[in-house]
A and B are shown apart, each in its own frame.
Chain A
Amino acid sequence: MPRVEPDAAGEPVGLLADTVPFSWVDGPGNRFAVFLQGCNLDCLACHNPHTIPRRTPLARPVTVEQLLDEVRRVAPFLSGVTVSGGEATLQAPFVAAWFAALRDDPTTARLTRFVDSNGCADDVTWDLLLPVTDGVMLDLKALDVATHRELTGLGNAQVLDSLDRLVAEQRLAEVRLLVVPGYNDSADVLRRTGAYVARHAPGVPVRVIGFRPHGVRAAARHIPAPTPDERTAYGTWVAESVGPELVTVV
């Protein structure tokens, strides 16, 4: 269930790990990216492990109005905003209120509103978010449930349900596959993953992201970064079903 943390006046308050006024890697165009504190997964390959704990003195509480103000200042430069994490959907009431405020303010109304999510969110959460959300970029950490559990600590049934719902409501902007050598990088797994996405989310772009050890916790530092050739191979395998025009490899 989404966590609600109203302030004294009953307004939702967000807990931020950080904001980036110009991000070029969190959706289409130049975006104001907000990284919320707290995640419901505990990924081995997480590049921002400090954003996982739900509470930390380093995080910054903000009101909807404060965060709206920060966007207003840079709105002429943006295509939109993206809320990421941590896991953005854990603070769905705050996100929904902020998105609604962005929609209703004339200086920010034209901006698209995107969510970057790991998909571990229930229907109540999506009910809250989707009416004010233009697109969701969804992580599919692993197609096989055992691998998903090994990489994240949880199974992926809810992720796959989220994927279907987002497709049905035409909100799935991108599927992101983080490929971790030794876990989910085989030709067989990536072909099956590509086929699953092509079947369940036809026409949706897929971003294949090769693991990079930068920023990960000590337990994952032994995992090698794939070579450029290996990353290209990942993309090729996924593209067999998805179609090369929809696959980006980074």
Chain B
Amino acid sequence: MPEFRDRARTLVDSPALTYRQRVQALAGLAEESLDPPKVSAECADALASGLVCDLAEGHAPYRPRYLLPDYARALERGSEFLGLAAPTDLYEAVAFLLSMYSQVPSITGYPVYLGDVDRLLEPYAADVDDETLTKLLRLMWVTIDRTLPDAFTHANLGPDDTRVGRTVLALERELLQTVPNLTLRVDATRTPDSLLLDAVRTVFACGKPHFVNHAMMTADLGPDYGVVSCYNSLKVGGGSHTLVRLNLAESARRHDGDVESYLATTLPAHVALNAELMAARITSLVEEARFFEHSWLVDEGLLSLDRFSAMFGVYGLAEAADRLVARSGGTGRYGHDADATAVGWRIVERAAELVSRTPLPYCEGNGGVAFLHSQSGIDSDLGVTAGTRIPIGDEPPLLEHLLAVAPNHRHFASGVSDIVQFDDTATRNPQAVVDVIRGAMATGMRDVTFNLDSNDFIRITGYLVRKSDLARLEATGQARHGSDVLAAGSVANSHVTARAVKRVISSESAPRVTG
């Protein structure tokens, strides 16, 4: 206990943390003093040695990692817990949602899902003029940023064109906030080019929104899905109990043999260890902490256990593929060499097959198994590439980049992110970015995210921070957004700021004769 007391004291006294951040860190410390869910010695060793990682979710899970309340149902019925009747106009609807957000937990302590705000609010918006709509949504957006100061908080738009959606995009360009994170669902026929152009211009201003392939998502998750936190796509009215990730780089490092034997022996063994930890955590949440028996969201029909599953994350694919290729005497690298890239695809395909055949408790939301997820990294990852990305700063030209990663996307129903960096050329031709989005989705990409090197916003692992906020954190030691603190670690550790800019060749400087 002396160590516990020392750590508690340090948190209480920490000049870098706001009051709320201290409360949250102290709660984490208390949770850590409990025994973690029981697993085999081999599984405990895998966790301790970094083969599997529980993303510091805590020793005693007492709320699901990600949960996606059915806000539409709440608005329709009102809430006894909140003491609010069903809203009758836009003012009441905005106040209802803001109140509800304050009572929605997640692993971060804040809601990671704010709903598809355009679909939720559009019916109420019909009664107000544009000026009123803008004013109300501006207040809502500012309040979200100030009261839920965490860039994992995520709102959704699309796929249809709406007044609310257009207004939100305009406000994003005006307010330049990192919170909330934002996703636009894109449907080949329902989402018009003009809305996509508006969204792309918003990316130029603030790095948002992220784009998802609506057809692929609905095929895998049904019509009611949401994108939360960093590109995690899950069922509305459900969510993910936990996210435990397998470090493929470490997994391949522990394998002594060729690709075939890795896929046949080592990978299945490591998948089983990751799944074991997931099962223990899920059981603890559902049967010990009994979250689903004590939540007002469940009582009021806004969440149900049968729409939950869990997320099986993988990361470090690039290093795993390179290592296995090198073992067989090759020198090719994932994302650059066709054979090495194909090894990467095979690892993902095999992992997907294994996960789909591994039953987990309380995962009826995905037929009793976990969703595979390409996990986009945390600030402490060193020398291991996020998810199934090509290493930062080393990405090939845009077309080759997209063709190399796209075949992985069909396996990741709960999300995958490949961040594409552009220079200013894009801002003079936003239609070109729209073309790339449409092409990426037509060729099987599920998620597409852009970073523009010249604006103040930067994607860290999946969430956004402002470079100016990072500079302020460095100078003053304090940040209002908890995610800024994580981001500072990520920038220091993983060179995310070195992400290779996609220089699109200009006819004034091209062509280069390649002979």
Which residues of A come within 8 Å of B, CB atoms?
17-26, 28-31, 33, 35, 47-48, 50-51, 57-60, 74, 76-79, 84, 116, 209, 212, 214-215, 248, 250
Contact = CB atoms under 8 A, between A and B. Distances in A.
Interface string B366-378: 0000000000000
Contact of A25 (B398, B402, B507, B511): B507
Given A26-B507, A57-B515, 19 more contacts: A18-B510, A18-B512, A18-B514, A20-B510, A22-B399, A22-B432, A22-B504, A23-B504, A24-B429, A30-B431, A35-B511, A48-B510, A58-B513, A74-B399, A76-B439, A76-B443, A77-B436, A77-B439, A214-B508
Contacts of B504: 22-25
Contacts, number: 99
Given A30-B432, A74-B399, A25 B439 contact: no
9 contacts: A23-B510, A24-B425, A25-B507, A25-B508, A30-B436, A35-B510, A78-B439, A84-B507, A209-B508
B265 interface: no
Nearest to A211: B508
Contact of A18 (B429, B434, B506, B513): B513
Contact of B398 (A22, A35, A51, A215): A22
B507 A248 contact: no
A214 B442 CA distance: 37
B354 interface: no
A215 B509 contact: yes
Interface in B185-201: none
B41 interface: no
A51 B510 CA distance: 10
Interface in B471-515: 504-515
Contacts of B434: 29
A20 B511 contact: yes
Interface string B392-428: 0000011100100000000000000000000001101
Contact of B509 (A51, A60, A74, A214): A214
Contacts of B508: 25, 47, 209, 212, 214-215
A21 B399 contact: yes
A212 B442 CA distance: 37
What 8 pairs between A and B have smallest CB-CB spacing? A77-B439, A18-B511, A30-B435, A76-B442, A30-B432, A29-B431, A35-B511, A76-B439
A221 to B, nearest CB: 15
A23 B431 CA distance: 12
Given A18-B511, A18-B513, A76 B438 contact: yes
Among A21, A22, A214, A248, which residue has the most Cβ atoms of chain B within 10 A? A22
A214 B443 CA distance: 36
Contacts of A250: 428
A25 B435 contact: no
A20 B443 CA distance: 19
A31 B402 CA distance: 16
Contacts of B440: 77
Interface of B: 397-399, 402, 425-426, 428-429, 431-436, 438-440, 442-443, 504-515
Given A24-B429, A250-B428, A29 B511 contact: no
Contacts of B402: 77
A196 B515 CA distance: 41
Contacts of A59: 513
Contact of B428 (A35, A74, A215, A248): A248
Nearest to B515: A58
Contacts of A209: 508
A59 B515 CA distance: 6
A51 B507 CA distance: 12
Contacts of B511: 17-20, 35, 48, 51
Contacts of A60: 515
Contacts of A214: 508-509
A50 B402 CA distance: 31
Contact of A23 (B439, B505, B515): B505
Nearest to B437: A77
A174 B278 CA distance: 59
B505 A20 contact: yes
Contacts of A17: 511, 513
B399 A78 contact: no
Contacts of A21: 399
Among B398, B402, B425, B439, which residue has the most Cβ atoms of chain A within 10 A? B439
A97 B154 CA distance: 50
B170 to A, nearest CB: 20
A29 B431 CA distance: 5
A35 B442 CA distance: 27
A25 B515 contact: no
Contacts of B433: 30
Nearest to B430: A29
